[in-house]
Structure 1
Amino acid sequence: MTDTENGTNTWVAEEYVKVNSPHVKTALAALALTGDALERGGTFAEVGCGAGEIARTVAERGFEVWASDASPSMVDATRQRCAGLPVHAEVRTVEQLELPRDGFDVIHSSWVLHWVSEAHEPLRRMAGALRPGGHLVLQWTGAQPRSEGTGLFGILRRLAAAPKWRELFAEVPPAMRDYPADDVAALLTDAGLELVHYEPELPHPFSRKKGTPLTADELAAMRVRFRRTWFASQAEVLGDRVDEFLDEALDALVAADSTDPHHARIVARRPR
């Protein structure tokens, strides 16, 4: 299910949290790579706060948190989860986000970048919003090298644009975008940050060597994730044909040997 704000379909928090626990774990693992930064407290920006699990965790560790998400449902869930804590949550897309220069000790964004229509300027704003010694923590999908093409997301976009599906997807086209890890790393370096941790191929349950198929159970899990995350906004538009589309999508990915979503993780720091 989705909710609608200003004509844009976005996720409902109750549906997203059903498949989000692995993402919370990876976010905490990524934040741990900042060394003792999470023990010092300070100011924390959560770009794409989801249902507020990370915002609550860091607020309980002594941070004042500014959280944002494009989904009103997610922001409501964050406010409820973080009630009584120093967490300020607002509805805002990454493209609209304005961050004060030198304003934060930690900026975190996990599994959001691939939903951003143009990420380069937002990334530069994040880099500029770090205080000296501050950390930027990023995780995202669709980070395969540019030489490998658009990978999984490209296949899904091409399927949605096929004559059979084009009219149904016209209202809410697939929004996933590819941002190669080496491009993002270069942009952050050019913005004056130093890379603390660079992992351009983060292991994923659906990662496989070429020619190694997923099991039936893994394909079923991938199908559930597609419906509740990557195609959550399209499920209502597709109506009773959503299962037909998801089956075709999985068949296309298996045929192309492209079930790996290509996750990446970068932790960068502004020098003191």
Structure 2
Amino acid sequence: MTETHAWKAEDFAQVNAPHVKTALTALQLTGDALEQGGAFAEIGCGTGEVARFVAERGFEVWASDASQSMVEATGKLCDGLPVTAEVCPAEQLEFPEGRFGVIHSSWVLHWVTEIDEPLRRMARGLRPGGYIVLQWTGAHPRSEGPGMFGILRDIAGSPKWKDLLAEAQPGSYEYPAEEVAKVLEEAGLELVHYEPDLPHPFSAKKTMADLPEMRERYKLAGFATQAAALGDRGDEFVDEVLTAMIRAGKTDPHHARIVARRPAA
């Protein structure tokens, strides 16, 4: 199976701690749901820290990721626990109707090519009283125009890079928080927590002095596919993108957090 993204677990683990921390914080917004056990779906399992956390609290966890490397890391970290991990892009996920007490996805939606149907499938997968917990990047209103993902796409599609990245064009998309919330509500869920502008350790305004630190982080995570495809020219591409973002004042990822619940029967 061809991977959707060139993420490698050993690289991602170097920059993943803040993402895991925010995921665990978001899950606490489900109240006592984490104490009830049952079935838990983890979309974008990364290196498995969240899957292990909830499995140790009595959940049967079904975890998925677009990266084979991530799924293998999750399997190792969760060995001996009730965790099933498999490779599956979010666009292709199917959820048994009414099965899950919690469906969680942090920092994945912005990699999904179209989210309305995946969101509706998640909603159908919740049991009465169950929760969806979502966090993602690129959630700013469309009235603000393209953000950092737009700059990335423009540079990757420029004459300098287009042919070199013919098989690795960026697959990151902006989904405003209000649009995601609307799909969930139309699917019969009620919003429990709505935070369209979520503070995050990576949200602080950046300057050129931050470029070296940003380069390493984005090579391992956000631009991993492009950096891998370009080989020795990966740093050149990443620096060009980040410099353009900094000069345009578009370094804020515009994170959002939504927790929604299916009303109890």
What TM-score results when the alignment is normalised by the length of structure 2? 0.96
CA RMSD in angstroms, aligned pairs only: 1.3
Residues 63-108 of structure 1, C-alpha deviations (whole Å, 9 max, x = no match): 0000011111111111111111110111111111110010100000
Name the SS of the counterpart of 2:92 in structure 1. Answer: coil
Corresponding residue for residue 241 of structure 2:
249
Structure 2: 5+ residue stretches without partners: none
Quote how far apart the aligned CAs of 1:240 are: 1.1
Residue 262 of structure 1 aligns to which amino acid in structure 2?
H
Report deviation, 1:222: 2.0
Counterpart secondary structure, 2:230:
helix
Alignment match of 1:73 (pick from 69, 72, 79): 69
Question: Which of 7, 11, 24 is equivalent to 1:11?
Answer: 7
Aligned position for 2:181: 185
Does the CA-based 8 Å contact 2:45-2:71 persist in structure 1? yes
2:101 matched residue in structure 1: 105
Of stretches 58-67 and 9-18 in structure 1, the one that deviates more from structure 2 is: 9-18
1:214 aligns with 2:219: no
> Is contact 1:206-1:214 (8 Å) kept?
no
> TM-score, normalization: structure 1?
0.94
Runs (4 or more) in structure 1 with deviation over 3 Å come to: 212-215
Gapped regions of structure 1 (runs ≥ 5): none
Shift of 1:213: 4.7
2:21 match: secondary structure: helix
Q: Does 1:120 align with 2:116?
A: yes
CA distance in 2: counterparts of 1:201 and 1:189, whole angstroms: 19
Alpha-carbon distance, 1:8 to partner: 4.4
The question of 1:82 aligning with 2:78 is answered yes
**Residues 142 and 177 in structure 1, CA contact (< 8 A), matched pair in contact too:** yes
Distance change (3 Å), C-alpha of 1:143 and 1:7: closer
Map Cα deviations across residues 179-218 of structure 1 (whole Å, 9 max, x no partner): 111100111111111111001011123435xxx65372x4
Q: 1:7 to 1:128 in 2, by over 3 A?
A: closer
Aligned to 1:264: 256
CA distance in 2, matches of 1:186, 1:236: 37
Q: Could you list the per-position Cα deviations for residues 130-172 of structure 1 after superposition, in whole angstroms to 9, with x for gaps in the alignment?
A: 0010000000001010111221100110011111111111111
**Does residue 40 of structure 2 align to residue 48 of structure 1?**
no
SS of 2:149 mapped into structure 1: helix
Post-superposition shift, 1:246? 1.4
Q: Report the number of matched residues.
A: 264
SS in 2 for 1:175: coil
Pair 1:58-2:54 in alignment: yes
Counterpart code for 1:136: I
Corresponding residue SS for 2:163: helix
